[in-house]
Structure 1
Amino acid sequence: MTIAEYSIKNKVISWMFLVILAVGGVVSFADLGRLEDPAFTVKDAMVITSYPGATSTEVEEELTYPLEKAIRQLPYLDKVTSTSSAGLSQIMVSMKMDYGPDELPQIWDELRRKVNDLEPSLPPGVNPVQVMDDFGDVYGVMLMVTGENYSYVELKRYVDYLTRELEVVDGVGKISLAGDQQEQLFVEMSLKRVAALNLDMNTVAGLLAQQNAVISAGEVTVNSQTLTLRPTGELNSIETFENLIIHGRDTGNLIRLKDVATVTRDVQEVPSNLLNYNGEPALNLGISFSSGVNVVKVGEAVDARLAELENIKPAGIKIHTLYNQAKEVEQSVNGFVLSLAEAVGIVIVVLLFTMGLRSGVIIGAVLLLTVMGTFILMSIYDIELQRISLGALIIALGMLVDNAIVVVEGILVGMQRGRTKVQAAKDIVEQTKWPLLGATVIAIVAFAPIGLSPDATGEFMGSLFWVLCFSLFLSWITAITLTPFLADLLLSSKTSEKQQNNDDPYKGVLFVVFGRLLKFCLRFRMLTVAVMIMMLAGAFYGFSLVKNSFFPPSNTPMFYVDMWMPEGTDIRDTYKQVQKVEDFLLDKEQVEFVTSTTGQGLQRFSLTYSPEKTLRSVCSAASSSG
């Protein structure tokens, strides 16, 4: 018994297979993880070191060059780029594309050891070296917090509370803050007062540096209970600082800090990063997702938690959404569902005019079941719905119907020749199952170099190959099993009653035209070969004109503007120029919002976005069109 006969005669098994594909596909589709881009490891790390007071030349010669020399000893290195500015060294370390997420943690540990071994030989005054290996983290939700008449300190207090509340939402991986201004106490000493009281500035500075230090004061045992002694006198307000005794404890002539200095509280005088949202100072909250989650559901959970906290939000504070990956992913998935529905509808409509309504329904149903089965396999192998896998499914939609069309068309031809539906299904499946498998394997192998590539291409594009492999191979299985079964159920047996007339089933207009073209090509072989060679050469030439890009462009209507001021420009002057650009953009009717960052780039909210390094003369603006 052939597989076609088995599928037709064992209807319970065929129905069970059909129901498993349909129900399992729907359940798997609902449970699949959803991302904007596939998981991809950015193979870059930043080595950042501050050298206060040093010029850019001194930073380059005394700090950046020795660090680069040590880093270049790593065998995994691809390239090293560095930026040396006054008081700051920034080194971007890029590893070869061959290394994936399993090897990189060990590589970053080796990088840290190289850097740490060099630290003792660096000049005095150099601060500890920082190695940022999470440089490639993507923050799928970007919130901008603004507040009219609120200071940075007050905004920061609310953002800290918001962070603690959002960190416990299921699926949230990490939350990062940008645009924060460090709060400081400024002690402005009067040289005249210090000199009049015969005080030493270094003594006063040393006394201030010792304050609020956590030092063990010992323990005492009382009735077998150990009690820890903790001295009081913490300086936790401006008043306590002002009343700090700096001289006279031994003489009784007490001199307090307020006698020689003015103490004020404010943010740092020269900021390192300034953020604006529609012209208002803002703090940026970046939320990244845990791996393998459904970002649509996590995004909904974050929105629900923000709605719950709305009642306790201080009046005047506003939370704006700069970027929401969950909504982008939801639109992409909805777009695919629409494409799938359109594909099934188009198949039915087109085949209605060529093969009949029932044939179109059969092939459309097989197409839908094949896609549902692909969802099951994607769930088993932990392949999320994201830009690449959705693209693979859309590519597959045009190929999945081929096998089913061959089988249905063969059954119709067999029935016209007087065969029963079972006989016609048996004949066409036995004749074509191995050729169809060969064609399917060739189509799969065509994408193998992408999916099986050991470098970054395979890591990013791997799901393209596997989804096509699952769907195309499954289309062959459904073509030789479910297609004969559905044909036996849905095709009319009246066709076989015309078996007495032995008319050629291939005498239609399309077949006649195609037959004449085929005969012409066989008759003029050299011309046919020459045309094929010319077409191949044209294809190679056309391929050379195709733009090369590793990451596909984003469909989000967001535009970036990077602006560099002359090196050495104060960040506050750069900020003034940014405000002019903001005002210009906000005057445009098509612009929905404008976000700017001065001193460094925004946090990475998309895999294709690469933040600018920390420079006082650098600023970026992001605007969205409505």
Structure 2
Amino acid sequence: MNHFNLTTWALNHKQFIYFLVFIFFAAGLFAYQNLGRMEDPDFTIKQMVVSIAWPGATARQMEEQVTDKIEKKLQDLPGLDYLKSYSAPGQTVIYVNLNEQVPPKEIRARWLEARNMVNDVKGSLPAGVLEPNFNDRFDEVYGVVYTLTGDGYSYEEMREKAEKIRRILLGIPSVRKVQLLGVQTEKIYIEIENSKLARLGIDPTAITATLQAQNAMAAAGMLESSSDNVYLRITGMFENLEDIRATPIQANGRTFRLGDIAKVTRAYAEPADPKMFFNSQPAIGISLAMEPGGNILALGKKLDATIAQIKQELPAGLEMNQTVNQPKVVESSIDEFLESLAEAIVIVLLVSFASLGMRSGVVVALTIPLVIAITFTLMYLTGIDLQSISLGALIIALGLLVDDAIITIEMMIVKLEQGWNRFDAACFSYTSTAYPRLTGALVTCAGFIPIAFSKGSASEFCSTLFWVVFFALISSWLVAGAVTPLLGYLLIKLKPTGQSASESHEHHKLYDTPFYRRFKLILQWCMHHRKTVLTCYCRHIHRVHFSPGISQTRILPCLQPSRSNHPAQITGRSIPDQRRGSSSPVC
């Protein structure tokens, strides 16, 4: 029974192959236009920060009466790796780190369980401990940031306008979250001299109780009807500062107006909340996070149109500027890939034209866009976006996917020069090279298997590297078996070298040249001295990997901050920390 020959089947079904080529080109173009685009792939940060405040407590009290109780409870969290905490006067911060083996799909459920555990402990905490604050959204990337500045505008006035802009931006498709930065909390301060309180006989707690009772949202009564209950509410809630100043305070049988005995002012909280500045001017930041799998380039265009309309409606004196532009960075990365693709095609054309001839070079060059189109289609079907890792994998694959086409077309040319007809030469190119090419592709893909199937954040971040290389190499193998011989059958027309029909299948003399004779001698020597060759190879690898001068060299210079694609510089300042820290590893 004869083995299946993909090239024979393709040559006997040319119309179907033409149809498939057209379909894959159209599908690849559609997939490229609709693939998600982002700077980096999505990955899950397996850490939660729990912060709890207890005003007036010392660091030791926070550690013994709050931190230890919560840590003891959280040690029962499934999948916990270790706990790390810092206790400072009036505040404690606990870092909950999950094991790398926890699947990303279970992270949210684990954080919900951690919240429930902390809430269970709240009843045993001392009086005065405030509600715990949880932060487990470190994986939200705010790729677009705008600043709103205004000469003569207060923080509150800028916040009100920024809040309206935030609501407009939330209506744009693919926008997941919009957050305001640099907002300053406003508070009402009531200041009264201690001597005046003593002279009038007013208890400070009486002022607090009066204000709370006046501003309470409680119904004064209820009317029952046959259809519904109607609640009665009296007016008197505070609308402005004058309402607070007009609040009556009773003490020792006398009634005072709060504004007459105290100073009531509106001011920002102290110590101040984190502030944002743009060109040395106070600003309110508006940051946006995109939904997973979204197209950052399409989102950038929609944002540009929306922001242009918003700017036209801004009051005089308010200005809106963009400080972080991730769509521009992603567009630059994709342009670099397209530039690399064009360079690869040009290089392949030049090499193929110089070594194989004009028609052979055209055949090899035509297979590259087809393989890329099939790869884009498979990426779209499997939900892989265009980002730094997948683009890097495509660039790696560019240097590998042309090999199949070159090997196939070269073998076909050799047989044509021996006098074979085009059909037999094309079929022989598959018979003699298909399995070696497939083995080479699978061995190359096997080198990336640990990246795709290992556990941990690094694997989650880089997993698309394996899949894109796998899609590209397997697609290249299939194209080289079906499309490349068909193109060679149509385009390549060579004259026989003069051999007779009886000699067409015998050993030819095309390789009887000085270059091939010397190469054959070197190859035979290496085959007869295998141990010597392998020993030299292992010594060389050992020197490269374990040499002191080489092992300290930076392997990825492109990751240095000075070579970042972001037009920004980040500076940091370390302040000595006096907090009490502890770490609780879990075995």
Q: CA deviation at 1:462?
A: 1.2
After the TM superposition, which residues 21-170 of structure 1 pair with which residues of structure 2 at under 5 Å, given as runs?
Answer: 21-170=24-173
Q: Is 1:411 aligned to 2:412, yes or no?
A: yes
Q: Which residue of 1 aligns with 2:260?
A: 259
Matched residue type, 1:274: K
* 2: CA distance, partners of 1:22 / 1:322: 38
Give 1:222 shift.
Answer: 7.3
Q: 1:215 to 1:507 in 2, by over 3 A?
A: farther
Paired with 1:509 and 1:195, the residues of 2 have a C-alpha distance of: 113
Q: 1:508 to 1:17 in 2, by over 3 A?
A: farther
Structure 1 range deviating more: 212-221 or 398-407: 212-221
Q: For the structure 1 residues 360 and 120, does the alpha-carbon distance in structure 2 shift closer, same or farther, using more than 3 Å as the test?
A: same
| Counterpart in the other structure of 1:272 | 273
CA shift in 2, pair 1:276/1:54, >3 Å: farther
CA contact (8 A) 1:420 1:496 kept: no
**513-522 or 37-46: which moved more?**
513-522
Question: Hey, what's the Cα distance between the residues in 2 that align with 1:535 and 1:70?
Answer: 54
Q: How far, CA to CA, are the matches of 2:321 and 2:574 in structure 1?
A: 27
Residue number in structure 1 paired with 2:538: 533
Give the aligned partner of residue 309 of structure 1.
Answer: 310
Q: Is the 8 A contact 1:100 1:456 kept in 2?
A: no
Name the structure 1 match of 2:574: 564
Check whether the contact 2:311–2:320 (CA below 8 A) recurs between aligned residues: no
The more displaced of 2-11 and 232-241 is 2-11
1:216 aligns to 2:222 (yes or no): no
Q: What letter is aligned with 1:354?
A: S
CA–CA distance in structure 2, aligned partners of residues 522 and 406 of structure 1: 23
State the SS of the aligned residue for 1:103.
helix
> Is residue 45–residue 457 contact of structure 2 (8 Å, CA) maintained in 1?
no
Deviation at 1:263? 0.8
Mapped to 1, the partners of 2:372 and 2:219 lie a distance apart of 67
Residue 98 of structure 1 aligns to a residue in which SS?
A: coil
Residues 10 and 21 of structure 1, relative CA distance in 2, 3 Å threshold: same
Residue in structure 2 matched with residue 600 of structure 1 by the alignment: none
Contact 1:276 1:282 in 2 (8 A): yes
Structure 2 CA distance, aligned partners of 1:292 and 1:526? 52
Match of 1:592 in 2: none
CA distance in structure 2 between the partners assigned to 1:224 and 1:472 by the alignment: 73
Determine whether 1:2 maps to 2:5. yes
Which AA in structure 1 matches 2:568?
M
Match of 2:524 among 516, 519, 525: 519
Cα RMSD for the two superposed structures: 2.5
The equivalences for 1:65-464 within 5 A come to 65-220=68-223, 227-247=230-250, 254-464=255-465
Q: Call closer, same or farther: CA 1:497–1:565 in 2, change over 3 Å.
A: closer
The answer on whether the counterparts of 2:238 and 2:244 sit within 8 Å (CA) in structure 1 is yes
Structure 2 match to 1:605: none
SS at structure 1 position matched to 2:62: helix
How far, CA to CA, are the matches of 2:30 and 2:208 in structure 1? 68
Contact 2:146 2:286 in 1 (8 A): yes
Q: Which residue of 1 aligns with 2:583?
A: none
- Give, in angstroms, the shift of residue 45 of structure 1: 0.6
Aligned equivalents of 1:280, 1:417: Cα separation in 2: 79
Q: CA deviation at 1:398?
A: 0.4
Query: Unpaired segments of 5 or more residues in structure 1?
Result: 570-626
| Percent of matched pairs sharing the same residue | 33
463-472 or 228-237, which deviates more: 228-237
Distance 1:448 1:535 in 2: 25
> Aligned partner of 2:190: which letter?
V
| Paired residues of 2:311 and 2:319 also in contact (CA < 8 A) | no
- The CA distance in 2 between the partners of 1:453 and 1:319, in whole Å, is 45
**Alignment pair present for 1:495 and 2:495:** yes
2:511 is the alignment partner of 1:506: yes
Q: Secondary structure at the match of 2:496?
A: helix
Deviation at 1:548? 7.7
How many Å separate the matches in 2 of 1:167 and 1:219?
40
Tell me the distance in 1 between the aligned counterparts of 2:199 and 2:538: 98
Aligned residue pair count? 566
d(CA) in 2 for partners of 1:529, 1:256: 97
Q: Distance in 2 between matches of 1:343 and 1:87?
A: 61
Q: 8 Å contact 1:70–1:118 — kept in the other structure? A: yes
Report the Cα offset of residue 208 of structure 1.
1.6
For 1:427 and 1:173, the matched residues in 2 are separated by: 55
Structure 2 vs 1, CA of residues 189 and 362 (structure 1 numbering), >3 Å: closer, same or farther?
Answer: same
The one-letter code matched in structure 2 to 1:178 is L
After superposition, the C-alpha distances for 1:10-41 in whole angstroms (9 at most, x for unaligned) are 22111112111211111111010111111101
Alignment partner of 1:496: what SS?
Answer: coil
**Matched residue SS, 2:307:** helix
CA distance in 2, matches of 1:240, 1:54: 35
Q: Distance in 1 between matches of 2:59 and 2:182?
A: 25
Q: Distance in 2 between matches of 1:384 and 1:280?
A: 38
After TM superposition, give the deviation of residue 43 of structure 1 in Å: 0.5
CA deviations on 1:27-68 (whole Å, 9 max, x unpaired) are 111010111111101111110111112233332333223322
- Give the secondary structure class of the aligned counterpart of 2:488: helix
Q: What amino acid is the match of 1:530?
A: T
Q: Which amino acid aligns with 2:47?
A: D
Deviation string for 1:503-537 (max 9, x for gaps)? Answer: 62224565344323213323544432332222232
**Corresponding residue for 1:607?**
none
Question: Greater shift after overlay, 95-104 or 78-87?
Answer: 78-87
SS of residue in 1 equivalent to 2:439: helix
Asked whether 1:475 is paired with 2:476, we answer yes
Shift of 1:383: 0.6
Query: What TM-score, normalized to structure 1?
Result: 0.85
Q: 1:263 is paired with a residue of what secondary structure?
A: strand
Q: CA deviation at 1:303?
A: 2.0
Distance 1:39 1:566 in 2: 34
C-alpha distance in 2, partners of 1:207/1:515?
A: 102
Once the 2 structures are TM-superposed, how far is the Cα of residue 366 of structure 1 from its aligned partner? 0.8
Q: What's the CA shift for 1:209? A: 2.6
